[in-house]
Amino acid sequence: MIATAAPRPLSAATAAGEAMEIVRKRLFPFRLDRWLPLGLVTFLDRCGRAGGGAGTGGSGRGWNGTDIGPSVDEAIGNARDWIGEHLVVILALGAIALVLAVTIVAIVLWINSRGVFMYADNVATGRFDVVRPWHEHAGRAWSYFGWSFGLSLVGGFGALALVVPGVLLAVSLFNNGPSAGSILGIVGLVLLFVLWAIAVNVFSILLRDFAAPLQIKLDLPCGKALGIAWKLVAGNLGTFIVYLLLKIVFGIVIAISTLLAGCFTCCLGFLPVIHHTLLQPLYYFERAWSLCLLRQAGYDLFPAPPPGPPPLPPPPEQLPAAG
């Protein structure tokens, strides 16, 4: 059993201050031979996680009663007939597309799982390695990948289960006109979708920010590390709510910094690895932040400071001079 440090009161703000000090000591003055490997590892760590928002477009036309109604009914009827005639082809293509999508997601999350441990290792140890942590944490990364991939599937299919009824209600609303049932149904599904997205993202933060470092510290599979992380969160709920709120603010800072870096480098700052190298202090801080919070809880991943010089021997006692 690996011994842990003595716990102390948890504070997200104090952990943030400690993380800033770590960034100052390790990344400055600037050295490309350190920042560039970290930029590559950061890209792997965030691969598949930093996505943009998806929006839906709509036509600029308003509802116009009888002008739009018949054409919509006709279009829906034609679409229904076409789908009925080509149902087998549609199902086959859909199955192929689903398999390809799941395969791509699995590959991306596998790479991300390796990057999560590589970056946590580098930040915890103060090193700037790529090859060593890739091999050293392979077993832990596989365990983490299983949970990460499972979360992705549950989150995706759960969202799909909410989106499909919403689309059907929207079509019914557009086709048959406004009704209280359709409107309330759409509003309820939107609220459920938001709550579902929040729950999935919170679990993802718990997995990456706390379970993965605990795997490194305690040499545990991901499931057991998640159990420890969950008990830690449940016992310090207020602190972790503050941590999540501050992470939202930090995400806004990252977005603004990304935009500025891209603008001031003629869009080079938007390219992977280059972007992560330019903004390395921000990403290093974000990774060190949760490690500092775990250190407060008694799970210290940072190396112990080197021992100081041995104390000097006491001076020999001087005998009193003879009278």
Residue 20 vs residues 14, 154, 256, 283, 298: alpha-carbon distances, Å: 10, 35, 19, 11, 20
Q: In the predicted model, is pLDDT for residue 36 greater than 70?
A: yes
Q: What is the mean pLDDT of the chain?
A: 86
pLDDT tens digits, one per residue of 68-126: 445 556 766 677 777 777 778 888 998 999 999 999 999 999 999 999 999 999 999 99
**pLDDT, tens digit, 9 for 90 and up, residues 153-167:** 999 999 999 998 988
Interval 221-230 mean pLDDT: 97
Q: Which domain holds residue 177?
A: 12-49+90-296
Residue 317 is assigned to a structural domain of this protein: no
| Domain-located, residue 323 | no
284: in domain? yes
Q: What is the rounded distance in angstroms from the CA atom of residue 61 to the CA atom of residue 68?
A: 10
Predicted pLDDT of residue 66: 46
Vertex 256 angle, CA 253 and 257, to 5°: 80
- pLDDT above 90 coverage of the chain, percent: 68
**Residue 244 domain flag:** yes
Q: How many domains does the chain have?
A: 1
pLDDT of 89 reads: 84
Q: Express as a percent the part of the chain with pLDDT over 70.
A: 84
In the structure, what pLDDT confidence band is assigned to residue 273 with cuts at 50, 70 and 90?
Answer: very high
Structural domain includes residue 221: yes
Reduced to 3 states (helix: H, G, I; strand: E, B; else coil), residue 209 is: helix
Residue 54 lies in a domain: no
Q: Are 147 and 127 in contact (CB under 8 A)?
A: no
Mean pLDDT lowest among 52-66, 69-83, 299-313: 52-66
Question: What's the one-letter identity of residue 112?
Answer: N
pLDDT for 192 equals: 95
pLDDT surpassing 80 at residue 251: yes
Note the pLDDT of residue 139: 95
Please, are residues 244 and 202 in contact by the beta-carbon 8 Å criterion? yes
Q: How far apart are CA 142 and CA 277, in angstroms?
A: 26
275 HSE (CA, 13 A, CB side): 21
Average pLDDT (303-311) is 69
Residue 204 forms part of a structural domain: yes
Rounded distance, CA 13 to CA 289, Å?
9
Phi, psi of 221 (to 5 degrees): -70, 165
The mean pLDDT value for 40-68 works out to: 59
Kindly indicate the confidence band of residue 209, based on its pLDDT and cuts at 50, 70 and 90: very high
pTM (predicted TM-score): 0.83
pLDDT at 51 over 70: no
Is the predicted pLDDT of residue 286 greater than 60, yes or no?
A: yes
Report how far apart, in Å, the C-alpha atoms of 287 and of each of 60, 88, 119, 254 are: 44, 48, 8, 13
State residue 54's pLDDT score: 36
Query: Does 74 reside within a domain?
Result: no
